[in-house]
Amino acid sequence: ELKVEQNPLFLSMQEGKNYTIYCNYSTTSDRLYWYRQDPGKSLESLFVLLSNGAVKQEGRLMASLDTKARLSTLHITAAVHDLSATYFCAVDSRYNNNDMRFGAGTRLTVKP
């Protein structure tokens, strides 16, 4: 069964600091996704990572994928308050009937 684990689940950090959110998954996957969700809002797609070694960056966020380790990271550089949100990773896999599984989410709070 495809399982996705994120850590940490809660992250409080100061503005200007760097931090990394980790996403581990249990079986071979085709695509790994990162999403952002603000409180009471919908989800926003941040990145889709398709292959081993893929790296994508948007502003202060950078996502990478290591398919051999079954690990993706979301790195936050010089955090700002506007990045406060919940971040989800998700994985889908043809080896699991194209099922998509989400991590539990990381609730990020950036303090001034």
Partner 1 sequence: DTAVSQTPKYLVTQMGNDKSIKCEQNLGHDTMYWYKQDSKKFLKIMFSYNNKELIINETVPNRFSPKSPDKAHLNLHINSLELGDSAVYFCASSLTSGGPFIQYFGPGTRLLVL
Contact set with partner 1 (CB under 8 A)? 31, 33, 37, 41-45, 48, 50, 86, 88, 90, 97-102, 104-105
Q: Provide, rounded to whole angstroms, the least separation between the CB of residue 52 and partner 1.
A: 16
Which are the contacts of 17, defined by CB distance < 8 A and separation ≥ 6?
Answer: 78, 79
Between 80 and 105, name the residue whose CB sits nearer to partner 1.
105
Residue 98: CB minimum distance to partner 1, A: 6
What are the structure tokens assigned to 60, written together? 């202060």
Termini Cα distance of the chain: 41
Q: How many CB atoms lie within 10 A of CB 57?
A: 12
Nearer to partner 1, 49 or 83 (CB): 49
Q: HSE on the CB side for 79, CA within 13 Å?
A: 22
Residue 25 or 33 having the CB closest to partner 1: 33
